[in-house]
Structure 1
């Protein structure tokens, strides 16, 4: 046994969906370290092996475990947070204004939302200001952070954390938990 901690590699490379799921979990955990009430954040997803082949100097900037995983897993993804996002009045407009270059294999977004159980949604006023007041005052409201990632082929993964159960082991996950947001992220890739 060596003194250096080597990553334990799986026997066979994971699928693209498994790599995407891991990338989305990592993004959600990263954003969670900043606490709640944060802005929308957008990430480009690139296949780590391809990025290392195109830019060998990148290996010195990545943790050794990531470089080792990328050598074993052609689907391993590295996320690159996007700074200076275009101005937008809402998430839909922001995503509609994003176009990714060919070297980007996928995209991810994190956003916080207030959700209500379906029965409570029936009483939401139509006036936007009144609706916001209703949502913020409703006793059954849940604050959630949503992380959605997608690849160019439409493969997707979602992670949802609620403020009331704010721990890494209480994050809900699945390929299509937030179908409208998945669709919007996929649209940025075409």
Structure 2
């Protein structure tokens, strides 16, 4: 595997329902986050590919499960629908809540969840809900505090400490780090963690 094994990631398919996903075999990691948290930018930075995950000035563009594969397709990154600011009917929101809940509970190949949160507004209701889903399904969960470059060094350190303290109380198995797609903050850390989850080597 190359120094950054995620550079080989390529788009495979989009799914509106769980039965449209690739066969439940191999290993995959899911990315979740509010619509404006910078999830697509984080995925692109991790994979060192500018346009892999589509970013938009309009939050909520990701309204399908987008599947990216590594190598022969037995290793996957799953981009879950953004939630929060998307201007969609309540029926669609309810559909995606059900799909995400079922995905986290039943997907056998899912080894972990990356929860993307804006460092300036962490642990909103959706974030807590996802942490509860992850805990209830026994999934490993790692939190990325994105847009850390928007905070001063002191503010970023205090935010990290505060989130870590809160996670210890209601989601003790979850880990957290600072991240900035723009500045490259935390890239090596999250790549190493993901490579460990997926069982791939980094140089």
In our comparison, the structure showing a higher alpha carbon Rg is 1
TM-score between both structures, scaled by the size of structure 1 = 0.29
TM-score between both structures, scaled by the size of structure 2 = 0.28
